[in-house]
Amino acid sequence: MTSPVPHASTCLADLVPAVRYSDPHVLAELLDDERLPLAWWYATPLTNAERAIGSRALADMVARALRALWPQIRTGELLPASRLLDTEAVLPHRSAEETGEEGLAALVCALLDRLHGRGAPRAPLGVRAAVAVISQWLPADAPTEVRAALAVLQELDQDPAETPEEYGARDGAECRSASAVVTEHVVLPVQRAHEEAVTAPAAEAGEPAADDVVGEGSEPSASGAAGSETEPDREPPATHPNLADTPLAAFGAYTSTWDERERTIAARRIFAEQPETFAALGDRFEVSRERVRQLERSLLDAIAQWLAYDEQGRSFAAHLAAVAGRLGAVGRLAEVRTMHPDHLRPVDALGLPLGDVVARLLPDRAVDGEWIIQGDAARRTAMADDLLAACGETPLAWDEAVAVGERHGVRAEVLADWAAEIGRFRTMDGHMLYWGRSVNDRAVAVLSLRGEPMSMEDVHDRLADGTTINSMRNQIWTDERFVRLDRNLYGLRQWGGEEYLGIREMIAREIRQAGGEIEVNALVDAICGRFDVVPASVRTNLGAPEFTRTRRGWVGLAAEQPRDGEAAPYNPRRDVARTRRCFVGADGRWWYRFEVTGDHLRGSGAPVPSGWAAHLGAVPACEPIPLRHDAGESVLQWRTQPVLGSIRPLMEHIGATVGDQVFLNVTDGELTALRLPAAQPEARPEVGAARLTGWTAAVTAAEAIDVIGLRTGMGSGQEATALLQHLGDRGDRDIVGLLEQALTGTVPVN
């Protein structure tokens, strides 16, 4: 079966391959037209585009785009098909700029005529009458040569389709609906999808092609749709206005004329959810898979012609148009199945629900899983960009989100699910949120929606995305968008509020505000009254070296205040004793632990905590501090943050690999590195907790508390609750997690 219009499914991206690799936003500025679908250049057949705006207008628009985007590219490379034209006007070696818009437009027009078979000679009326007489009286036993000659005359006798210029020139250039009579070849969405998936056949007929989709099964069956037949006790869906009364009857009558091979190809390839391979069908029919490919194409052409020219076919095409209109740009396959009572009933010839067939025949749409989508990836990108611009980090009211969806033809009924499908958006409490690519972004969205501080557990419960609470906590603590307002209360920094910096920092702040010293009971009441901190923790931290007893029951700062005219010394927000992953050894030296990554082994610099850097004598904007080590030299510098230069030679020297824990110490300009051996898998949690501080001997839970207290600067004899509080303030969540496992009944401290 031959199509009367060659290459009817060709789109602009087929004609101009460079279009597929260009920025869709730039293309939209040059090729958008309100009469054409969004991003039409990717999938809309050029016959449809010509019908909407006329071939000359289409050629002019394409010519302007070619000259604007690729002025230096030769026309033969921009329009590869132009090499097939038999005309002296084609100069493939000339650039688009040299050819000019008028020359490019003429070239595009010539290509459109060649692609769509226009300009072919027509037979005179007398010849046409003679052909009709010969066809009627030709005997059944006529020689093959005579029949072949008659076929040539019949092809010449065919009336050409109405030209796209005649469509575009009509007053108003209105867009015709699918219910109108179609006078040229129609290309089905399923045909377009199948043609894009076809590649050249392999050398051996039995070898599956790379584009074939493997499918198994012995008989045509439903494509996996639930409820392919109406349940006896289930009320069938009501028929919507503008839909055909009995679409199943029309399509069923048409498919009843198919032979067994056509039915099988339709059920197993054209309308199947998982198409069977050409090779498998070829084995079934005992033909080559290329022959199956030809049979499929012929059947697709036949369906298109039925929709265009047959009276029942045009009625079914109007039904398809009505379904597409109700779905809008995006819809669910389940909606089509329940849109009409006939859609749940099977087509006898195929064994498939009519709704699944309708979904794959809808004009300018494609089935993608459970979605039916108009256009291509550019539509998804454009809508995702608009939603992101509207949402950002501020929740978007549902009515406003619906307005964004309507601009892209997406109905409110499917907007929430479609937004989640095209990007990281989620609907929650009557708002649409940007769900982001990281747990930090999602936590920002949750807090923005609530509008008030939340506990870590509450944030985690609202996320409900499978992220562990410890992982989420670590991410939030390192993100400047968040502020800790209490021991377990977090908000957004843009809201303001008094930041919870840790017990020692709050003690120092209260002492400064009191003029240099403060009564201990008043200090405890002030801190515990504003924050969820136990008095024992405050009193325990008063023993830190930065505080001193000024008189009985009073406490002050041990550091001297600067004299008049002197610059205040740099004091980091957290000193080394309150800095995460910093531990004091038996010799009194402070070590910083880090986990080796690929960046360290590639020679990249790595940031280090400001508390540890300040302990080594570095301050913001200071001169780089050179550091010697056994394998060479490195440097510690502080611009916006302290950064340790490349230590790749040192890591190679100690045999460190990705994932190892390494302790660093600097004494008198000498950088020392110690690699922590991997822990035994069966190690108890208290052993693992002490090990992370550099202690490798076995310990009990009580011994671990003493060891960790000493190595974090608290001293021995600490209560478990106070130690956990101290570790939480420092940010040592890995140690806290292990201790909480080891200490039965201990309340986790966040």
Question: What pLDDT digit, counting tens, does each position of 487-526 carry?
Answer: 788 888 888 888 887 788 888 888 988 888 899 999 999 9
**Residue-level pLDDT at 644:** 92
Closest CA to 354 of 242, 257, 261, 251: 251
Please check whether residue 76 is in contact with residue 85, taking contact to mean a CB–CB distance below 8 angstroms: no
**Residue-level pLDDT at 457:** 87
Please check whether residue 648 is in contact with residue 631, taking contact to mean a CB–CB distance below 8 angstroms: no
**Residue-level pLDDT at 591:** 92
The pLDDT of 602-626, averaged and rounded, is: 86
Fold designation for 438-500: Arc Repressor Mutant, subunit A (1.10.10)
Chain centroid, CA 675 distance in Å: 40
Mean pLDDT, the chain, as a whole number?
A: 76
Specify the DSSP class assigned to residue 268: I
The pLDDT of 292-315, averaged and rounded, is: 88
Give CA–CA dist 277/262, Å, rounded.
15
**Rg (the chain; Cα; Å):** 38
Please check whether residue 490 is in contact with residue 454, taking contact to mean a CB–CB distance below 8 angstroms: yes
**Residue-level pLDDT at 354:** 92
Question: What pLDDT digit, counting tens, does each position of 700-721 carry?
Answer: 888 899 899 989 988 777 888 8
**Residue-level pLDDT at 663:** 93
pLDDT at position 87 over 60: no
Q: Strand 517-519 relative to strand 554-557: parallel, antiparallel, unpaired?
A: antiparallel
pLDDT at position 670 over 50: yes
**Residue-level pLDDT at 37:** 78
Give CA–CA dist 72/729, Å, rounded.
63
Give CA–CA dist 383/39, Å, rounded.
12
Neighbours of 697 (CB within 10 A): 9
The pLDDT of 160-188, averaged and rounded, is: 36
Q: Which CATH number fits domain 576-676: 2.40.50.100, 1.10.490.10, 1.10.3720.10, 2.40.330.10?
A: 2.40.330.10
Give CA–CA dist 556/458, Å, rounded.
38
**Residue-level pLDDT at 314:** 87
Neighbours of 138 (CB within 10 A): 12
Terminal Cα-to-Cα distance of the chain (whole angstroms): 73
For 642, left (φ over 0), alpha (ψ -120 to 50), or beta? Answer: beta
Give CA–CA dist 189/171, Å, rounded.
29
**Residue-level pLDDT at 431:** 81
- Amino acid making up residue 389: A
Please check whether residue 365 is in contact with residue 374, taking contact to mean a CB–CB distance below 8 angstroms: yes
**Residue-level pLDDT at 478:** 65
Closest CA to 51 of 159, 171, 192, 173: 173
Greatest mean pLDDT among 209-218, 325-334, 510-519 lies in 510-519
pTM: 0.41
Instruction: Name the least confident of 78-87, 442-451, 542-551.
Output: 78-87
Confidence of residue 185 (pLDDT cuts 50, 70, 90): very low
Instruction: Name the least confident of 153-162, 310-319, 359-368, 717-726.
Output: 153-162
Q: Which residue has the higher pLDDT, 649 or 51?
A: 649
**Residue-level pLDDT at 137:** 67
The pLDDT of 434-459, averaged and rounded, is: 80
Give CA–CA dist 667/672, Å, rounded.
8
β-bridge mates for residue 368, sequence order: 371
Greatest mean pLDDT among 67-71, 235-239, 458-462, 676-680 lies in 67-71
pLDDT at position 581 over 90: yes
Instruction: Name the least confident of 66-70, 271-275, 423-427.
Output: 423-427
**Residue-level pLDDT at 57:** 86
Give CA–CA dist 252/670, Å, rounded.
86
Please check whether residue 364 is in contact with residue 327, taking contact to mean a CB–CB distance below 8 angstroms: no
Confidence of residue 153 (pLDDT cuts 50, 70, 90): low
β-bridge mates for residue 490, sequence order: 454, 484
Could you tell me the strand order of the sheet in which 425-428 lies?
Answer: 396-397, 431-434, 425-428
Question: What pLDDT digit, counting tens, does each position of 130-139 carry?
Answer: 666 676 667 7
Give CA–CA dist 529/532, Å, rounded.
8
**Residue-level pLDDT at 227:** 37
Neighbours of 688 (CB within 10 A): 19
The pLDDT of 659-682, averaged and rounded, is: 84
Go through the chain and tell me how many residues it has.
750
Confidence of residue 127 (pLDDT cuts 50, 70, 90): low
Closest CA to 584 of 730, 728, 736, 738: 730
The pLDDT of 647-651, averaged and rounded, is: 92
The pLDDT of 577-599, averaged and rounded, is: 88
pLDDT at position 318 over 60: yes
Q: Which segments of 120-239 are extended strands (E)?
A: none
Greatest mean pLDDT among 193-197, 218-222, 330-334 lies in 330-334
Neighbours of 407 (CB within 10 A): 11
Question: What pLDDT digit, counting tens, does each position of 525-577 carry?
Answer: 998 888 888 888 788 778 777 788 888 889 988 765 445 555 556 677 788 88
Confidence of residue 189 (pLDDT cuts 50, 70, 90): low
Give CA–CA dist 190/272, Å, rounded.
10
